[in-house]
Structure 1
Amino acid sequence: MSKDIQIDIKRTGFPVKVGKVELWFDSSFENLRRYFNVDELAKDKLKVAEEKAKHIHFPEEITVESLDEKTVDAAFDVNKEFIAAQYDIIFGDGSFRKIYTEYPDILALEKALEVVGAAIAHRLEEQEASRSKEAKKKQNEYLNKKAKKSR
């Protein structure tokens, strides 16, 4: 009878709480490539949302009289899609829906994105400093072993 070998994997990343909703930020190298392109990826999704709203005529000059419910809803939907895309790119698909279910306030969630971005950037700087320190430690250990062998 053989015994199974169990190797645990600890995910790279950290939890981020937005209000009461806890999300996970994946800080693996693979995901960081996406994260640093969040604006570009969100703009691509915005283009898709704008295509959906293309049939709506937005007036050149906006006045109370020129706005109708359909136009306001279309503009709101485009903005909401853009905000949703950013949350989903940063935290994974479905993240925006979780937050919006708890906090159905697109303006508040848009403002929170700035805070989220700054907090994540700070944490990534801390992680990078820790990784650099660990790499330097391993390098020194290797060099010390190599120096002892060559004696």
Structure 2
Amino acid sequence: MAVKINLENKSLIPVEFGELSFSVDVSDRGKEHLISLVNKYDKETDGIELEVTDQKTYMKAVETMKSVLERVYDDLFGVGSFKKIYDKYPDVILLSGSFVEVCEGVITEYDKRTGKEKMDKYLNQKQRKAK
């Protein structure tokens, strides 16, 4: 009798923005990509709020933030995904915070799926059988 292990979709974590659904790849390559997007986002958004001194600079900061978010969302979820999300939730501050939440949530879910708890459970079972 063969042990069958279904590995399809195990490295995809679903992400929902209201009624919009996407997924994030957490394979080795996917995690590396996610980390690079977080670094890109941090680098490109660093100091944007410091540039805001009046309505004109505020609007420029919003456009800059929107551009950064479009690149990272489209890179993470696929081309056109930012437009779908922004059309439904047109708030760059909200979507900026959501990007951070997505990254934290994906990492937390990945840890749950592959973390220490599973290994501890397996090792405990092995120890009980050995006794």
TM category (shorter chain) comes to: 0.5 to 0.7
List runs of 5+ in structure 1 lacking aligned partners: 1-7, 48-59, 141-151
Query: What is the alpha-carbon root mean square deviation over aligned residues?
Result: 3.2
Shift of 1:38: 1.5
**Structure with more of its chain in helix, by fraction:** 2
CA drift at 1:34 = 0.7
2:100 is the alignment partner of 1:114? yes
After TM superposition, the score normalised by the length of structure 2 is 0.64
Summarize deviations over 1:21-58 as a string: whole Å, max 9, x none.
111111121111111121333367x49xxxxxxxxxxx
Q: Quick one: distance in 1 between partners of 2:74 and 2:52?
A: 33
Return structure 1 stretches of 4+ with deviation > 4 angstroms.
none
Residue aligning to 1:10: 8
- C-alpha change, 1:86 and 1:62, in structure 2 (3 Å) is same
Q: Match of 1:20?
A: 19
Query: Secondary structure of the equivalent of 2:53?
Result: coil
CA contact (8 A) 1:15 1:24 kept: yes
Structure whose CA Rg is larger: 1
Q: 2: distance between equivalents of 1:88 and 1:61?
A: 26
* TM-score normalised over the length of structure 1: 0.57
Change (3 A) 1:31 1:62: same
* Aligned with residue 73 of structure 2, among 56, 79, 87: 87
Provide structure 2 residue ranges, at least 5 long, that are not aligned to the other structure.
1-5, 46-50, 127-131
Residues matched between the structures, number: 111
